[in-house]
Amino acid sequence: MWAGNAWRAAVFWVSRGRRAQSALAQLRGILEGELEGIRGAGTWKSERVITSRQGPHICVDGVAGGILNFCANNYLGLSSHPEVIQAGLQALEEFGAGLSSVRFICGTQSIHKNLEAKIARFHQREDAILYPSCFDANAGLFEALLTPEDAVLSDELNHASIIDGIRLCKAHKYRYRHLDMADLEAKLQEAQKHRLRLVATDGAFSMDGDIAPLQEICRLASRYGALVFVDECHATGFLGPTGRGTDELLGVMDQVTIINSTLGKALGGASGGYTTGPGPLVSLLRQRARPYLFSNSLPPAVVGCASKALDLLMESNTIVQSMAAKTQRFRSKMEAAGFTISGASHPICPVMLGDARPASRMADDMLKRGIFVIGFSYPVVPKGKARIRVQISAVHSEEDIDCCVEAFVEVGRLHGALP
């Protein structure tokens, strides 16, 4: 009897193991098919390994010599600024490596509260709340704020994190054509039956370098009793006279209700995001925003770096003012050479190429000439709109910019992008 039971048990476990192996083999087949499709479409994304600090000049694994970096979000060059680094080291020494906890349990330190207060002052808002990233800030906002009685109206080219955040909420969803104010007005008229109406837009759109018409958006929001939300990840720190963002640039700081932004680009370049706006909204997010409630608090070193970056920005706007001239220099020289550059005036300068393969191959050849840029293709951008996105930093010199343009002209002719 016992022998029979043991035999049946052995047969069961062998059979179960075979089924598990079969399921794994099936999964591998599916995944390899998907990956081969990506390779075949020319949209495979390889990761280059940097072996130095982030900055305008970097070292890249497998590439001899120094490389000029033209594709980082390091708009103000603060990610390797000595005072920012020192502030991070000091916070690490004083407050430790991390909190091992979420904020409401035992993960809030005085430096977190101080940074939130500083962010609110910077944006001239009532309060602010920190998240591990702005992706988390966008994931937490809409679900906590909006109910099935409400409506959200979103630009069709908003960042993926806004799109995903909106998907999580139960509000009625309207999508208006990119920067199309007539379509937004039509959608606002249709949404009048809902309790709250929230217009959601990027301030600066990271793929195309264009800027939302916030004056018109705010005018329509006022006419139809709506609130305005702006994601300022590609604006905070360098757009506007003092770097407050697109709402400052366009003179509507008092009309934008909610701002989400990041600490991971111009403000130190590490990680972290935030929401800033009305005090009661921030209080509600502390109670209900799932990415806040269920994620560890920001590491002290990150908080220290971001806090110092804000200090430097609020002390002087000299570095902000240098951005416009350098951006214009690159755009004008590239357009004179025959390239099409999307957007206007923003340091994001997409060199439009259309097809994914030449975008990828040109980026590889640029690296051989000492210029670090990346080709962008589907699904990061729509099919047929592949580009190499160049990003200008305040710490690029005029010589750096001219060198980048010269390499583009040479590579562009090699690949038929220029005559």
Residues making up the chain, counted from first to last? 419
Give the type of residue at 86: Q
Beta bridge partners of 154: 175, 200
Q: Do the Cβ atoms of 143 and 291 come closer than 8 Å?
A: no
Q: Is 308 a catalytic residue?
A: no
Q: Is 265 a catalytic residue?
A: yes
Which is catalytic among the residues 81, 187, 194, 265? Answer: 265
Q: Do the Cβ atoms of 123 and 240 come closer than 8 Å?
A: no
First to last CA, the chain: 86
- Of 301, 319, 309, nearest to 261 (Cα)? 309
Give the type of residue at 96: G
Q: Is 172 a catalytic residue?
A: no
Which is catalytic among the residues 81, 123, 234, 326? Answer: 234
Which is catalytic among the residues 206, 261, 297, 307? Answer: 206
Q: What is the 3-state secondary structure (H, E, C) of the chain?
A: CHHHHHHHHHHHHHHHHHHHHHHHHHHHHHHHHHHHHHHHCCCCCCCCCECCCCCCEECECCCCCCEEECCCCCCCCHHHCHHHHHHHHHHHHHHCCCCCCEHHHHCCCHHHHHHHHHHHHHHCCCEEEEECCHHHHHHHHHHHHCCCCCEEEEECCCCHHHHHHHHHCCCEEEEECCCCHHHHHHHHHHHHHCCCEEEEEECECCCCCCECCHHHHHHHHHHCCCEEEEECCCCCCCCCCCCCCHHHHCCCCCCCCEEEEECCCCCCCCCCEEEEECHHHHHHHHHHCHHHHCCECCCHHHHHHHHHHHHHHHHCCHHHHHHHHHHHHHHHHHHHHCCCECCCCCCEEEEEEECHHHHHHHHHHHHHCCEECCEECCCCCCCCCEEEEEECCCCCCHHHHHHHHHHHHHHHHHCCCCC
User: Residues 161, 164, 165, 169: what is their CA dihedral angle, to the nearest 10 degrees?
Assistant: 170
Mind telling me the catalytic residues? 206, 234, 265
